[in-house]
Amino acid sequence: MRVILLGTGTPIPDVNRCGPSLVVCLSRDRLLFDCGFGATHQLLRAGVEPRSVTHLFFTHHHYDHIVDYGYFVLSTWRTGRAHPLRVFGPPGTARITAALFDEVYGVDRHWRRTVVRPGVLPDITLDVGEVDAGAVAAGADWRVTAVRVEHPPVPIVLAYAVEAGGRKVVYSADTVYFPPLADFARGADLLIHEAVSPHAGTTAHRGHTRPEDVGRLARAAGVKRVVLNHLEPWENAARAVAGVRRHYRGRAEAGRDLMAIDL
């Protein structure tokens, strides 16, 4: 299993970080989690052909997590994706999909099929499923499960776990410090967790998790490694990692765009 952080940033534009997204590369399948700004191009930079992605999982629908959705689907369609893209996310995912591809890009989609490449270009072939906590999807040698976390005021936000080859990776999504997540992440080989430090005069940390609390959760879960993401442009990565290490003695580091982790 190879995990590649495609984007480790936030809604705030940052020349060093694209929007939230990561890909898990398995023997047969490529699993994309969230589709933030730049995700499609970051796949190319990481050496992963975008049209090879088989499954897309959304944690929630804040714009920084879905803004590349339209471009990703249409570009992989036009460049020859031969399989249906399976898309999973909380309630609202089907509505957003229909709004994008039937309304916003509906005329363009029709024109390319009927005028540009009539009889040649198939449809965009999406298989969309709205999901909640529990079992979400599985392949020949992997499975994905989900648990609800809390990112107020969003009603449903899902953290995901990927298990394959005896390894387990957990992606926290955007969340406040949420101790029940420790049970879901128990014994994980890798916990990818957001970290947002409070800053004087701002409320950016509300609805998010402080680095110190990431450390508390990682210690409670007994995970082997922690990588921080959803890092703001002004976040001091070394200071954030130091905050995690106040409570967690395992391997901890700040994520970087295109960081690859082999498990």
Q: What is the pLDDT of residues 161-210, one digit of tens each?
A: 999 999 999 999 999 999 999 999 999 999 999 999 876 444 456 799 99
Q: What is the DSSP letter of 28?
A: S
pLDDT at 121: 60
Q: What is the pLDDT of residue 116?
A: 63
Single out the residue of 190, 196, 185 nearest to residue 167, CA to CA: 190
Question: Which domains does the chain possess?
Answer: 2-262 (3.60.15.10)
**Average pLDDT score, the chain:** 94
Which of the residue ranges 18-27, 114-123, 148-157, 175-184 would you say has the lowest mean pLDDT? Answer: 114-123
Residue by residue, DSSP assigns 134-164 as EEEEE-SSEEEEEEEEEETTEEEEEEEEEEE
CA 2 to chain centre: 14
| pLDDT value of residue 220 | 98
**Percent of the chain clearing pLDDT 70 (strictly above):** 95
Strands (E), the chain: 2-7, 21-25, 30-33, 55-57, 85-89, 126-130, 134-138, 142-151, 154-164, 167-171, 190-194, 225-229, 251-254, 259-262
Task: List, in order, residues 6 or more apart from 69 with CB less than 8 Å away.
Answer: 35, 56, 96, 100
CA distance 223 to 253: 13
Which residues on adjacent β-strands are paired with residue 25? Answer: 2, 30
Q: For 127-152, how does the pLDDT look when each residue is reduced to its tens digit (9 = 90+)?
A: 999 999 999 999 999 999 999 999 99
pLDDT, residue 204, reads 53
Angle ∠(147,57,224) on CA atoms, nearest 5: 55
Model pLDDT, residue 115: 66
Q: Specify the pLDDT at position 200.
A: 40
CA dist., res. 147 & res. 160, Å (int) = 7
Name which residue leads in pLDDT, 118 or 245. 245
Q: Are 19 and 229 in contact (CB under 8 A)?
A: no
The model's pTM: 0.95
Confidence of residue 111 (pLDDT cuts 50, 70, 90): confident
Of 49, 41, 118, 111, whose CA–CA distance to 80 is shortest?
Answer: 49
Query: pLDDT by residue (tens digit) across 210-227?
Result: 999 999 999 999 999 999
Token pair of 209, please?
Answer: 């998790």
Q: Is residue 4 over pLDDT 80?
A: yes
Q: What is the predicted pLDDT for the residue at 110?
A: 81
Mean pLDDT for 105-113 is 83
Mean pLDDT computed over 236-252: 96
